Each structure stands twice: as structure tokens, then as C-alpha cells.
Amino acid sequence: MPTLPTLEHLAVLSDDAGVIQHATENVPNRKTGYCTDDVARAFIVALQALQLAPRDELADKLASTYLAFLESAQLEDGRFHNFMSYERAWLDDVGTQDSCGRALWALGYGIRYAPREQWRRVCRMLFDRGLAAAESFEFLRSRAYAMLGSVHAYATVHDESYAAVLRRLADTLVGAYDREHSDDWAWFEPIMTYDNARLPEVLIRAGHALGESRYLDLGLVTLAFYERIVFEDGVFVPIGNDGWYPRGGPRARYAQQPLEAYAMIDAELAAYDAAGDPARAASAELALAWYYGKNSRGIAMVHGGGCYDGLGEDSVNRNMGAESTLALLAGAYAMAARQPRTLRAVR
């Protein structure tokens, strides 16, 4: 595995409020302010860092800051604001469904992995307050993010209400698959867009957590279909956002986004946990290698603890904003936490 990236650039992007959304090269662009989407991701990353190094004072400070942001972002009805200006004024009445789902994902993760009992209690309070909103989400990815939080919460607390929400949300993904799939299209939607691997991942995780083979099996089927599209001769080539991949149409190969590799790492590790197939561990390694230059252009996307924002056909977006940097850190830390076990499996 390459050298583990540090929290150095994330610390540069962070202040006592949260994480600055965007950067110009490696300089935080304060005009872009903060968003719950990124702070939720950052809270997960800080907790991952603390699992790897429990005495990491920087990770501990960052985690506390990010949890405070999430608490301040929550509305009375359990949903969350998303956008905050650099002057610390909320810019929306309520955030996007994705941002609310990612907040629930982070809080569920905190219920399971926060190193302090006080933090775990705060996470559960915010999670419980917000979970009811998840069932009103219209979008599959928003539901998937909430499901990830529910998997972590249920694994820790074993509250049947978490299992019930998880089943109901999983059923909506199964229903989407039933409506859209065909003999040559084993997918949930008529077009593949962003964060694609999260959809099979959550079914795999839900099936594994609940002991429901119908979720697990469908997750593995759809992940295998996605693998056939994005792995080319041992190289991870995610769907680009310059056109996406509509069923029956051409797939976009560029404007590749770092979050796709992170999602693939998590999905493959979920499949490895559920099915024990060594090939899944090897695929997770290939997705991680995307950051380090084993991609369709042979360009390393990592620089000083940060990650470039996008890989184009003729250029690289050398800005290192929060989303891309957090994707790198989360993917690398997920692999580092598993490395002894997954390496044994690959060998």
C-alpha cells in the first residue's frame, strides 16, 4: 500500500467552524464557505484517523469541530441545513436530501466508532431526531447514505427501529431495480451518474447486517455488473460526469471524480466482509490505486495529503477541495484499517 496520506491538507481546509468547501490549488477558497455534505464526510474521516491512531490530537480536535457543526446544522424537524457562508450564516432553509442523508451516515458512523461516550450520545440524539426524515427522501443515493448510517447504528445499538427503517429503505432500492433492470442492464436507474458503487454497497451491508439474503444477493449482482463496466484491464475507470452513462448510450470516460474510487473501495470491502471472496479485496486495492496513478491517464492525483479535484481527458483539475481530499483520506484509511486481513486474502 502507498504511504498513508496525512490530515495535513484537511487541517488547512478546516477552521473552528468546519471545512471550507473548495480550494484554489491548495489554498482554501473562503468565499465558498462550508457545507454539511463535506463536514459529514470529514467527521467520518477524523473518526477513521482516530481508529488508526487513538492519540492523534489533530484528529480528535477536528472530530469535535465537525460534530459541533452537524449539531448546529440540524433543524427542529430533524433535517439539516447544508450551506453556510464563511461569515457563519446559513444560506438555505433546508439542505438537499443528499446532504441530510450524508449527515445521517456520519452520525450513524459516530454511534459506532466515536471514541468518547459523550460523542456517541450526541450522535445518537441527532441521528434519532433525523432518521424519520430519511423515509421521505425521493432519491436513491440520499436513501443509500441514510442506510449506511442505519447499518452502523444497528450494528452498535441493535434497536429494532433502526432495522425497520433499514428494511424499508432497502426495499425501495429493490423496487427501483425491479423496475429498471433488463437482461443487459443490472442496475437501479436508466442512467449511471455519481457515487454509483454506494447503491450495491448499501444492499450488501443491509443484507449482511439483517441476515437478509435477498438484499445481499442483489447487492452482489449489481456490484458485479458495475465492475464489468468500470474495470478495464486491471485499471479502475469510473463513469465520468461529462455525460454519465445512459442505458444504451455511450459512457463518459472523463471528468472522473475522486469520490468514485472511495465508493468502490467501500463497496468491495463490504462484499469481501459478506462473501469472503479474495477478488473483492484485490478490486478494492485497484480502486485505491486510482489515486496513486493507476488510472486511465497514469497521473497521480495525490499531493501533500490532498487530492486533485478531477481527472480529465486532456487536463487535471489541480484544485484540491474538500470532497476530493476527503475521498482520498476515507478510502486510504478504510484500506489501512483492513490491510493485514485483506492482504492475506489477496495472497
Q: Is residue 2 one of the residues assigned to a domain?
A: no
Over pLDDT 70: what percentage of the chain? 97
Q: Is residue 31 one of the residues assigned to a domain?
A: yes
- Given CA atoms 270, 180, 166, 77 in this order, what sign does their dihedral have? positive
3-state secondary structure of 149: helix
Q: Specify whether the CB–CB gap between 72 and 11 falls below 8 A.
A: no
- Inform me whether the pLDDT recorded for 1 exceeds 80: no
Phi/psi of residue 32, nearest 5 degrees: -85, -10
pLDDT score, position 347: 32
Q: Specify whether the CB–CB gap between 256 and 195 falls below 8 A.
A: no
What's the pLDDT tens digit per position in 113-148? 999 999 999 999 999 999 999 989 999 999 999 999
Domain CATH code at residue 28: 1.50.10.10
Question: pTM of the full predicted structure?
Answer: 0.96
pLDDT score, position 341: 55
Stretch 229-246: mean pLDDT: 97
Stretch 55-66: mean pLDDT: 98
Q: Is residue 3 one of the residues assigned to a domain?
A: no
Q: What is the DSSP letter of 262?
A: H
pLDDT score, position 340: 58
Q: How many CA atoms lie within 13 A of 78 on its CB side?
A: 17
pLDDT score, position 346: 35
Q: Is residue 149 one of the residues assigned to a domain?
A: yes
Q: What is the DSSP letter of 85?
A: -
Burial of 167 (0-12, 13-18, 19+ CB in 10 A): middle
Distances (CA, A) of 97 to 69, 142, 163: 18, 6, 21
What's the pLDDT tens digit per position in 186-232? 999 999 999 999 999 999 999 999 999 999 999 999 999 999 999 99
The candidate with the shortest Cα–Cα distance to 209, out of 266, 267, 169, 153, is 153
Q: Which domain holds residue 39?
A: 8-346
Residue 3's pLDDT band, with cuts at 50, 70 and 90, is confident
Q: Is residue 323 one of the residues assigned to a domain?
A: yes
What's the pLDDT tens digit per position in 244-269? 999 999 999 999 999 999 999 999 99
Number of domains in the chain: 1
What's the pLDDT tens digit per position in 94-115? 999 999 999 999 999 999 999 9
pLDDT score, position 184: 97
Q: Specify whether the CB–CB gap between 240 and 252 falls below 8 A.
A: yes
Q: Is residue 266 one of the residues assigned to a domain?
A: yes
The candidate with the shortest Cα–Cα distance to 79, out of 95, 102, 98, is 95
Separation CA 344–CA 347 (nearest Å): 5
Q: Is residue 1 one of the residues assigned to a domain?
A: no
Residue-by-residue DSSP string for 107-120: HHHHHHH-SSHHHH
- Inform me whether the pLDDT recorded for 344 exceeds 70: no
Residue-by-residue DSSP string for 258-287: HHHHHHHHHHHHHHHHHH--HHHHHHHHHH
Strands 83-84 and 310-311, by their bridges, are unpaired
Q: Is residue 233 one of the residues assigned to a domain?
A: yes
